[in-house]
C-alpha cells in the first residue's frame, strides 16, 4: 500500500481540513463526541475494570468516528449509530489493537515510575522532610522518567494512530495495520510534529473559557485524523464502502 511523505506544513492543514469536515455537520459531530464522553465517564466510574475495558474498545469507537468522518466528507449525514458500527463489522481485530495499546500504556507507565524511583516519588508527595535537594533530585528523576516513558509510548501511539482506519477501510489484520501505521507516522515525523504543536496550542486556547472551546475543538481534531489518513494513504480502494460495512467472519 502506498504511503505518502508530505510537507511539514500539512500538519496545520490537517487541522484546517478537520474544521472543514466538522463545519458540514457541526451539531451531529458535537453530539457524537458528547456520547463518546458519556461512555468514557461511565466506564471510568467502574474501578479498574472500567478503565481497562474502555482502553480495549476505544479503537472500535474510534473506527466508528472515522466512518462518520468519511460520511461527512462525502457530503452525507453522519449518524450516532455509526459510533457503534465497527462492533458489528470489525470488533475482534480492533479490540486486538486496543489490547496492544493497553499493554504499551502500562509498560510506558511502569518504565516511567521505575526510572523516577520510589524515593523520588516520596519526595514529590511531600515526604522529604523539607529537604530542598531531595525535592530537586526527585524532579530530575521524574523528568527523566517521563522522557523515557514517552520514548517508550510514542512508537505504540504511532502504531495505533492509523490502525483502526486501515482495518476498517482496507481489511488489514491488526499487526499489518499497526506496522503500516508506524511506518506512515515515522515517514511523516515533521508534519506530525507541526500537527502536535498547533493541536496543543489550540487545546490550551480552547480550555481558557471554562473549557467550552473544547466542544468544537475535539470534533475538529477527530476529523483532522481522518484528513491526515487521506493525505498519507491516498490510494484507497474503490470498494472501500462495501468493505467497511461487511461483517467480519
Q: Compute the distance between CA of residue 199 and CA of residue 189 in angstroms, rounded to an integer.
A: 15
Q: Compute the distance between CA of residue 192 and CA of residue 232 in angstroms, rounded to an integer.
A: 11
Residue 200 lies in a domain: yes
Residue 244 lies in a domain: no
Q: For the segment 125-179, what is each residue's pLDDT rounded down to a tens digit?
A: 555 555 566 666 667 777 777 788 888 889 999 999 999 999 999 999 999 999 9
Q: Compute the distance between CA of residue 221 and CA of residue 199 in angstroms, rounded to an integer.
A: 8
Number of domains in the chain: 1
Q: Compute the distance between CA of residue 12 and CA of residue 188 in angstroms, rounded to an integer.
A: 13
Structural domain of residue 34, as residue ranges? 10-233
Give the global pTM: 0.85
Instruction: Indicate the SS3 state at residue 57.
Output: helix
Residue 199 lies in a domain: yes
Q: For the segment 88-102, what is each residue's pLDDT rounded down to a tens digit?
A: 999 999 999 999 999
Residue 68 lies in a domain: yes
Which comes out higher in pLDDT, residue 196 or 247? 196
User: Which position has the grid cell 514529590?
Assistant: 124
Distance of CA 212 to the CA centre of its chain: 21
Q: For the segment 48-67, what is each residue's pLDDT rounded down to a tens digit?
A: 888 889 989 999 999 999 99
Contacts with 67 (C-beta within 8 Å, 6 or more apart), sequence order? 82, 85, 86, 168, 244
Amino acid at each position: 500500500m502506498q504511503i505518502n511523505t508530505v510537507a511539514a506544513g500539512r500538519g496545520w492543514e490537517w487541522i484546517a481540513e478537520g474544521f472543514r469536515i466538522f463545519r458540514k455537520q457541526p451539531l451531529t459531530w458535537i453530539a457524537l463526541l458528547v456520547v463518546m464522553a458519556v461512555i468514557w465517564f461511565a466506564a471510568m466510574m467502574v474501578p479498574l475494570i472500567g478503565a481497562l475495558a474502555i482502553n480495549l474498545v476505544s479503537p472500535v469507537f474510534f473506527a466508528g468516528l472515522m466512518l462518520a468522518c468519511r460520511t461527512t466528507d462525502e457530503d452525507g449525514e453522519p449518524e450516532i449509530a455509526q459510533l457503534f458500527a465497527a462492533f458489528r463489522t470489525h470488533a475482534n481485530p480492533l479490540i486486538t489493537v486496543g489490547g496492544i495499546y493497553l499493554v504499551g500504556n502500562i509498560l510506558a507507565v511502569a518504565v516511567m515510575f521505575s526510572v523516577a524511583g520510589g524515593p523520588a516519588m516520596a519526595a514529590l508527595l511531600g515526604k522529604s522532610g523539607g529537604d530542598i535537594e531531595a525535592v530537586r533530585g526527585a524532579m530530575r528523576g521524574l523528568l527523566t522518567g517521563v522522557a523515557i516513558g514517552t520514548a517508550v509510548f510514542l512508537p505504540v501511539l504511532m502504531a495505533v494512530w492509523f490502525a483502526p482506519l486501515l482495518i476498517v477501510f482496507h481489511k488489514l489484520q491488526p499487526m499489518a495495520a499497526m506496522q503500516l501505521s508506524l511506518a506512515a507516522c515515522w515517514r511523516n515525523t515533521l508534519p506530525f510534529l507541526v500537527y502536535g504543536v498547533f493541536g496543543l496550542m489550540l487545546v490550551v486556547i480552547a480550555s481558557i473559557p471554562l473549557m467550552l472551546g473544547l466542544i468544537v475543538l475535539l470534533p475538529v481534531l477527530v476529523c483532522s485524523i481522518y484528513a491526515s489518513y487521506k493525505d498519507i494513504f491516498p490510494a484507497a480502494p474503490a470498494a472501500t464502502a462495501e468493505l467497511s460495512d461487511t461483517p467480519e467472519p
